[in-house]
Amino acid sequence: MESSNAIEIRDLVVDYGTRRILNEISFDIRQGEIMVIMGGSGAGKSTLLRCMLGLKSPTSGHIHMLGTDICHASREELYKLREQMGVAFQGGALFTSMSVAENIQLPLREHTDLDENTIQIMTRIKLDMVNLLPHENLMPSELSGGMTKRAALARAIIMDPKLLFFDEPSAGLDPITSAELDELIISLKESMNMTIVVVTHELESVFAIADRIAILGDGELIQVGTPEEIKASTDERVVNLLNRTPRESVVDGDQHLQRLTAE
């Protein structure tokens, strides 16, 4: 039976040593939607993303992606699945010894037998989509922060993936570049019918692009819903996150003194 969910996460638990990073996370990401995963620092967003990319094995639980259980898939199955995935990393992760165009062409050269002319044309189409066509011969070190993210996005979509993961698209960018990237993400969903997973904590971006939002806090899934449902949430942690309310920490005087003076 064909599921309408592109990704199904069930009872996901991730521990780093004795520290629990993700605790019993379960939610679905539907095909063709933009799902934003948000939460404060240390909420477990990046760990969840690494699990979804198959870069981190969970302690327990399952992640079904396009019908494949990536937690129990062989390396071959994982690689087959990854050919249908695109990932734009937070820092771009462009190969510094290659030009922008060479970076974008790499998946095509490794996974297809396309002739040189077709590879060049496809590269330029993707570069044009992200407004980087005039900069195809630049090296990654010559790009600005926004250009790096757009180049990473072009590389992520070169194989026309069914699933696109975007880690912190707005981090470190000015508001205009950030808004341009948001528009680009929406246009990608509309033009290429991709399922897009965005990990971010930039509230403006979240409400601009999200079809649904999953909010994490201290390793727990607090809420999943549409932007309207999230805005209407009465959960204190969600309200604090949306209103940017600083966390209040209760200080035990004796414990604090012991921490400061401990050998």
Partner 1 sequence: MTMNKAISNIGSNVIESVEQIGRTFNLLLIIAWKILLPPYQVFPVIKQIYFIGARSMTVIIISGVTIGMVLGLQFYNTLERFGSVGVLGSAVALSIIRELGPVMTALMVVGRAGSAICAELGIMRISEQVDALECMAISPDKYLVAPKLLGGIISVPLLNFVFNVVAIGGGYIVGVVIFGVAEGSYVNGMIDAVVWSDVRLGLVKSLIFGMLITLICCAKGFYLHLSRYGSHGAEGVSRATTDAVVISSISVLFCDFLIGALMS
Please report, as ranges, the residues that interact with partner 1 according to CB under 8 A: 53-55, 79-80, 82-83, 85, 87, 89-91, 93-96, 106-107, 110-111, 155, 165
Our CB check for partner 1 shows the closer of 87 and 208 to be 87
Looking only at the bridges linking them, the beta strands covering 5-16 and 19-30 are antiparallel
Cα–Cα dist 248/73, whole Å = 43
User: CB of 45: closest distance to partner 1 in angstroms?
Assistant: 15
Our CB check for partner 1 shows the closer of 126 and 155 to be 155
User: CB of 46: closest distance to partner 1 in angstroms?
Assistant: 11
User: CB of 116: closest distance to partner 1 in angstroms?
Assistant: 15
Our CB check for partner 1 shows the closer of 53 and 143 to be 53
HSE (CB half, 13 Å, CA atoms) of 96?
2
